[in-house]
């Protein structure tokens, strides 16, 4: 019966010239879901918007949403949240079908301060709730921020809480994970085949915290994106090196949010759900780990973020 229903929907859409919408929906069916430790389900694959201008972010999100993406990652520090909000509104896709992630900056941390910052964030995103909200860096009064974030969850403004870059500080990690009422559902960190972050992955396992990867393609590293070992695997599957890397992320169980504004790259990145890497190829990918990170700012250097403010 379902196959006949799909057939009639296809005919109707062909007749009314709305095939692009169908393409987006069909593509989206292939994106796997991660069930977080609070029971909420999050699309495993999404679009990163770091370094995209507000207008470029809006256009990238519109392309992504049209091509099956249902997870968008932004932050106040990226200064493009309003672009995300506008794209979601213009896409015509129901809000509840799109997962929106954002992050609070350290200058917004503190009881009372953070709640006001969340309300301003909701206004920029043109939404009544955020699916996942991170504390962006482990400096400043992140404990005070977390207490306000818990209140925002209680008020229905936030669905899940996360910690971003808390691999920098064991003390900061345990201050949230061990002492707060609502536990983090996701940890966002730099992760890719050259830095597979084995230790931190083991550290979060007892808490059921999902790993979400930024710089999943090594921030466009020429070394990584021309790696001959990955290149041989790519040839075997008739895929690009970037697609092989992103598929590796998915099969490792990570949430992955490759950033792109080029429509071709946006479409290429999501075209990874029509194949699977073999156990042997996964083992080969794991062998490339050398814990080589591309972003290496120290925790001490990040302390300056506390006084760095952004316009609303």
Any idea which residues carry the catalytic annotation?
A: 78
Angle between helix axes 142-154 and 170-177 (nearest 10 degrees) is 30
DSSP sequence for 221-235: -HHHHT-HHHHHHHH
Rounded to 10 degrees, what is the CA torsion of 299, 303, 308, 312?
70
Write a three-state SS string for 13-79: HHHCCCHHHHHHHHHHHCCCEEECCCCCEEECECEECCCCCHHHHHHHHHHHHHCCCCEEECCHHHC
Q: How many whole angstroms separate alpha carbon 177 and alpha carbon 185? A: 10
Write the CA distances from 164 to 28, 135, 142, 214, 272, integer angstroms: 26, 6, 11, 10, 26
Q: What share of the chain is helix, strand, coil (3-state, %, to 5)?
A: 50, 15, 35
Contacts 24+ apart (CB under 8 A), 40-44: 40/131, 40/159, 40/160, 40/185, 42/71, 42/99, 42/131, 42/132, 42/160, 42/186, 42/210, 42/255, 43/69, 43/70, 43/71, 43/99, 44/71, 44/250, 44/254, 44/255, 44/256
Are 145 and 176 in contact, with CB atoms under 8 Å apart?
Answer: no
Instruction: Compute the radius of gyration of the chain from its Cα atoms.
Output: 20
């Amino acid at each position: 019966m379902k196959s006949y229903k799909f057939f009639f929907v296809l005919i109707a859409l062909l007749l009314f010239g709305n095939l692009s919408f169908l393409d987006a929906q069909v593509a989206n069916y292939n994106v796997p879901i991660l069930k977080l430790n609070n029971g909420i389900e999050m699309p495993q694959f999404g679009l990163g918007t770091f370094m995209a201008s507000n207008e470029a972010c809006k256009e990238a999100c519109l392309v992504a949403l049209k091509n099956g993406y249902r997870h968008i990652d932004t932050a106040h520090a990226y200064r493009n949240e309003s672009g995300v909000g506008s794209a979601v509104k213009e896409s015509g896709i129901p809000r509840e079908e799109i997962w929106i992630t954002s992050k609070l900056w350290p200058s917004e941390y503190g009881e009372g301060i953070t709640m006001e910052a969340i309300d301003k964030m909701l206004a920029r995103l043109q939404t009544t709730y955020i699916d996942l909200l991170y504390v962006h860096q482990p400096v400043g009064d992140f404990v005070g921020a977390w207490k306000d974030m818990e209140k925002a969850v209680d008020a229905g403004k936030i669905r899940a809480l996360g910690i971003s870059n808390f691999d920098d500080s064991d003390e900061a990690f345990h201050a949230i994970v061990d002492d707060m009422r609502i536990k983090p559902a996701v940890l966002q960190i730099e992760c890719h085949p050259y830095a597979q972050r084995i230790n931190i992955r083991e550290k979060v396992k007892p808490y059921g915290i999902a790993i979400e990867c930024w710089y999943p393609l090594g921030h466009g590293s020429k070394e990584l994106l021309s790696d001959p070992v990955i290149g041989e695997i790519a040839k075997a599957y008739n895929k690009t090196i970037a697609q092989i890397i992103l598929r590796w992320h998915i099969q490792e169980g990570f949430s992955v949010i490759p950033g792109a504004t080029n429509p071709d790259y946006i479409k290429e990145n999501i075209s990874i759900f029509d194949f699977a890497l073999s156990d042997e190829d996964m083992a080969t990918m794991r062998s490339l780990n050398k814990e080589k990170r591309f972003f290496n700012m120290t925790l001490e250097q990040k302390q300056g973020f506390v006084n760095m403010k952004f316009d609303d």
